[in-house]
Structure 1
Amino acid sequence: MLGFTRYQWTVLFAAWLGWGFDIFDGLLFNYVAPNCVPTLLNLPLGSPEAKQATLYWTGVMSSVLLLGWAAGGVIFGWICDRIGRTKTLLLTMLLYALGTAACAFVTDIWMLLAFRIVAALGIGGEWAAGAAMVAETVPEEKRVEAGALLYTAAPFGLFLATFVDHQVAGVWFKAQPEESWRYVFLFGLVPAGVAFIVRLFVKEPERWAKQAETAAKPRLSELFTPQMMAYTRSGFLMALIALITWWSSNAFIPVVASGLARANAEALGLAGPATLAMVQDWKMLATLCFNFGGLIGTLLTIPASKYLGRRKMFAIYWIASAVSMFLTFGIDWPGQIRLYFYFLVGLSVFGVFGSFTYYLPELFPTRLRGTGAGFCYNVGRVFAAIGPFMVGYVATQGTNSAVSVLFYVGFVPIIGLLMMPWVIETRGRALQD
């Protein structure tokens, strides 16, 4: 199928699992925050003080995650070019699995912050290793399809996080909200087992192995030489726009859905378990819509990139991202209807990420592929970290404030359109050795 050998499918599946669990571990906090934050701060669940603290700390934790993600992406991208793709994939998966599972045992908010930083370093480092490994293993003419398929793991990871939270906090331990979030974090340990399986079946790509024998060791400074600067700028700017838009909107799906559900429950005269059940159901609905849109949007990057080219593909997705954000958050929709519009946000804001798994590796030669792709894809998270923090800070005024701020996030992809002259077209270009 698709002209891949059994081993090439194995490599793709290994990287797919690594990236899917990467997203899974990265976003678990967003789902448990309404119970986790008040418990660690000794605030009554559901109280106005708890809601405000949850909004604030969701922004802080998301921003810190992005900063750690950026650092891990740059560091492990460089390590990936030095010790190999497979070894780096194993190390990063173990790091984020152990860091996430450790969050189950924290006793205060600062311990949680520390373990989230540990997990973030591994989460950031995994992507460059997986993307480079796939790009260097599959046939040249199938690199776009492989890259887009690799990114479908992101909706899988997001759905898995939603499912685990719903099953653990909403079914198994729904009567123990002060403790249920700890069991959710323990599921973050699952990728550790997967990492060892990956190590048994996947070897280093031959393309990298040949270069590693003779080529000079990569240096981060090489990305800014006159020969490479245009490529680095192109990858960085496109990733930056996508990251700011995605994190500003996605990080607050559980918070927005929870706020809308509580308001609806109050209007219906519901309380207690009925309200908690509606909150879990609405979070699941919003995430499913966002995920389903993201899955379709990811796959649509294949024909868009192959037939229109990378530059036009990015332009189309930036326009669609702006329109979807304005429609979803700029019109006074009924609460549950607004959640369905997350499909459009996923289709565009989420979908564009399907291109980075093949576009960024195309920009750099083999000896710099992990370093360059890791830098471009991850250093933008330093700037993207401002988004969740600002949204979280403003959202402490209430759910309506969060919706209003998310409307203005729609202007970020419009800025991306202004950057199109700097985008380097790579359609039809073979990977550089």
Structure 2
Amino acid sequence: MFSWFKEISPTERRTFWACFGGWALDALDVQMFSLVIPAMIAEWAISKTEAGLVSGATLVASALGGWIAGALADRFGRVRTLQLTVAFFSVFTFACAFSQNFSQFLVLKTLQGFGFGGEWAAGAVLMAESIRAQHRGKAMGTVQSAWAVGWAAAVLLYTAMFSLLPGPMAWRAMFALGLLPALLVIYVRRGVPEPIVPADNSTTRSSGKTNVRSGDAAAIPFFAIFSPRVLRMTLTGALLGVGAHGGYYALMTWLPTYLKTERHLSVLGTGGYLAVIIFAFFCGCVASAQLLDRIGRRGTILLFSIACVATVLVYLFAPLTNGAMLVVGFPLGFFAAGIPASMGALFNELYPRGMRGTGVGFCYNFGRVVSAAFPVMVGHLAKTTTLGFAIGTDAAIAYAIVALAVLMLPETRGRALADTLPADDEHPSPAQVAHARR
């Protein structure tokens, strides 16, 4: 399953681990909030809608950060932008620990979102341009599994802090440790070069000999992705991002609260249920990574989106016992992983070099703008119904949007990353597909 990792160069491996570490630490910082919502509600007497507003504002900021960071990566380079965004979200995660009221926390958490949205965009393009085409799907899917690693670290930290400290101190201690990702900047600065991307890179790999700036455009290309030839891809990719993020954040933002308040699980019990889902998320990323280079990008996303709808409905609407929920939690996390693990490879292959970072940053992160409404809608709907019903309804709708959007995008498996738009906008050439399968 991981034999491809032995075939890549040392520079490719360093790039992989830099992006893996970035996304794991990104997840650690982001997932902490969903775990500490009950403690913050108790300390500041805020409503569920206000708690959902924090997630919504963070997601809007992350979308803007992703679009801007993607454009900066096109102009100033992938590695430099990655360093900047990691440092940015680390500092503001740390600052959240010292907020004195809900308003201060909302501002600081929003600024944190700006940084982590940008970090994904810069890292995704760096990965896509550094890994050879025949392993691009496997590498991009596998690096997404880092989210599960960071998520697991957040749950372990949550369990430890809330077992040792009172609630008001525990959540602050968790955010204070969010400064640790800034150490990754040192590794990136010393070990990861800018990728070299020739026009035909079906067998491209990174080289540590020469640093070539990824962005050669005369100006930051914010709006190039809306040119006529790529407008349809941009709009459809953004719709795919809406569904993918909407389902994920509706489900994962509120799941710890649902388990604690409606299923009445203790801190350790909540951690046990989340452990199953997180392990399943890791497995789902690895599975989708293999499928991306076997059945293609579209087939993989469609398969996982349909499975997500079915699993969410069973998990939150069926009269399951606590034991049955533990069992169903595995497919819930497994299928929820496949969509985000697939989007990096697909979006990178839709755009040429000069606008690739901008396109990837916009499509992936625009979904966060609109999906910001999903956690808020869950909190609002939960006023008149159960929290489980609210989560399930929003998540199922979101994953149905994913299935619709992916059917409107071209299959890009085997497509070489190019400096110009491909002549055939719908399918890679037979030669490219044959090469990618070898």
- Give yes or no for TM over 0.5: yes
Q: State whether residues 395 and 401 of structure 1, in contact with CA within 8 Å, keep that contact through their aligned partners in structure 2.
A: yes
Match of 2:390 in 1: 405
Match of 1:269 in 2: none
Match of 1:315 in 2: 302
Q: Which amino acid aligns with 2:194?
A: E
Q: State whether residues 27 and 158 of structure 1, in contact with CA within 8 Å, keep that contact through their aligned partners in structure 2.
A: yes
Match of 1:160 in 2: 153
- How far the C-alpha of 1:413 sits from its partner, in A, is 2.1
In 2 relative to 1, CA 427–257 (structure 1 residues): closer, same or farther, beyond 3 Å? same
Between the aligned partners of 2:10 and 2:214, the Cα distance in structure 1 is 25
1:187 corresponds, among 139, 155, 177, to 177
Instruction: Answer yes or no: is 1:298 the counterpart of 2:288.
Output: no
Q: Which amino acid aligns with 2:35?
A: Y
Q: Which amino acid aligns with 2:34?
A: N
Between the aligned partners of 1:195 and 1:329, the Cα distance in structure 2 is 40
In 2 relative to 1, CA 291–54 (structure 1 residues): closer, same or farther, beyond 3 Å? farther
Match of 2:126 in 1: 133
Deviations 1:337-389 (A, max 9, x none): 32442222211122221111211111111121111000000011111011100
Q: State whether residues 139 and 289 of structure 2, in contact with CA within 8 Å, keep that contact through their aligned partners in structure 1.
A: no
Instruction: Answer yes or no: is 1:61 the counterpart of 2:54.
Output: yes
Between the aligned partners of 1:350 and 1:54, the Cα distance in structure 2 is 30
Look up the SS of the partner of 2:277 in the other structure: helix
Between the aligned partners of 2:356 and 2:136, the Cα distance in structure 1 is 15
Q: State whether residues 138 and 290 of structure 2, in contact with CA within 8 Å, keep that contact through their aligned partners in structure 1.
A: no
Q: State whether residues 88 and 115 of structure 2, in contact with CA within 8 Å, keep that contact through their aligned partners in structure 1.
A: yes
Match of 1:118 in 2: 111
Match of 1:36 in 2: 40
1:146 corresponds, among 139, 150, 165, to 139
The range that moved more, 221-230 or 208-217, is: 208-217
Deviations 1:384-414 (A, max 9, x none): 01110011122245xx711111222313322
- How far the C-alpha of 1:78 sits from its partner, in A, is 1.0
Between the aligned partners of 2:91 and 2:315, the Cα distance in structure 1 is 37
Unaligned runs of 5+ in 2: 199-210, 420-438
Match of 1:243 in 2: 245
2:404 corresponds, among 395, 408, 418, to 418
- How far the C-alpha of 1:237 sits from its partner, in A, is 2.3
Look up the SS of the partner of 1:207 in the other structure: coil
Between the aligned partners of 1:215 and 1:384, the Cα distance in structure 2 is 31
Q: State whether residues 147 and 354 of structure 1, in contact with CA within 8 Å, keep that contact through their aligned partners in structure 2.
A: yes
- How far the C-alpha of 1:228 sits from its partner, in A, is 1.2
Deviations 1:9-62 (A, max 9, x none): 1111001111111111112111122112322x2x5xxxxxxxxx3533331111
Which has a greater percent of helix?
1
Instruction: Answer yes or no: is 1:332 the counterpart of 2:336.
Output: no
- How far the C-alpha of 1:303 sits from its partner, in A, is 3.2
Q: Which amino acid aligns with 2:278?
A: N
Between the aligned partners of 1:350 and 1:215, the Cα distance in structure 2 is 34
- How far the C-alpha of 1:214 sits from its partner, in A, is 5.1
TM-score by length of 1: 0.88
What is the CA RMSD across the aligned residues, in angstroms?
Answer: 1.9
- How far the C-alpha of 1:211 sits from its partner, in A, is 6.7
Look up the SS of the partner of 1:410 in the other structure: helix
Match of 1:268 in 2: none
- How far the C-alpha of 1:236 sits from its partner, in A, is 1.8
Match of 1:265 in 2: none
Identity of aligned residues (%): 27
In 2 relative to 1, CA 151–213 (structure 1 residues): closer, same or farther, beyond 3 Å? closer
- How far the C-alpha of 1:215 sits from its partner, in A, is 4.4
Between the aligned partners of 1:351 and 1:287, the Cα distance in structure 2 is 18
Residue-pair matches, total: 402
Match of 2:93 in 1: 100
Between the aligned partners of 2:184 and 2:107, the Cα distance in structure 1 is 24
